[in-house]
Amino acid sequence: MSDSKTAAQKSGADDAKDGGRPGRRAPLIAAAVAIVAALGITAAVGLGGGDDKTPGTTSGPVADVSGGTDSDKAATVLDRPFAKPDLVLTDTKGQKYDLRTATKGKPTLVYFGYTHCPDVCPLTMSNIAIARKQLPKADQDKLQVVFVTTDPERDTAAELGKWLPAAGDPSFVGLTGDFKTIQAGARSMGIGIDPAKKEGNTVVSMHGAQVIAFSPTTDQGYVLYGESTSADDYAKDLPKLIKGENP
């Protein structure tokens, strides 16, 4: 199950070698989510990893995962939801964007990725966009999709403004800013990201590939999706997410 993977992609030469596939992947402790669900038990699963005391590592909070989750479903419903990150960043228009204030009381999907990603990031945005278009117009207007870059040095507001409508939908919000602020926001939801780094002629950006759905009724992140979630999966779940219901 792809919920268990962390997207670690290389742009440039490595993409050509691998036919557009990510250059490498690192395991995410969230793999345990699928395992405990299959066993029909409830467990406390750390979705982050690392040690807060070690610089550059990405330690995340603990999430209670319900063992009653249907293994055929793309969604993992969290018994202990995440608080919405206290993130104030810059949107594609160069304006300040306060995530908590701007999305308060609205169904919201949050994803951390980068524009030079060869496959997982644009595919995720595309799948959500396809599913969104199947909603009634009123529900389309309610849904907030927020893409936060993990590579702010290259992903300027202008760059996000060009990439996001093509990869996903013009209604999607793209955010950039200080990397440490972004990293802390991701970490608060158990999503690990590392600074982009050069390896020869390539730039590597490693990040967790989860989409977190926030309820319009509680403003808490209560549903997790992995990178294998399809457009059909999102299309089936979005009507419930918009109401703040469990998928």
What confidence tens digit (pLDDT) does each residue in 198-213 have?
A: 877 887 778 999 999 9
Q: Are 25 and 169 in contact (CB under 8 A)?
A: no
pLDDT band at 112 (very low <50, low <70, confident <90, very high): very high
Q: What is each CA distance from 225 to 55, 78, 82, 181, 230, in whole angstroms?
A: 28, 11, 14, 23, 10
Q: What is the pLDDT of residues 3-52, one digit of tens each?
A: 434 444 443 334 433 433 333 333 333 333 333 333 232 222 233 333 33
The H or E element spanning position 225 is strand 220-225
Claim: this prediction has a pTM higher than 0.85? no
Compute how many other C-beta atoms are within 10 angstroms of the C-beta atom of residue 230: 13
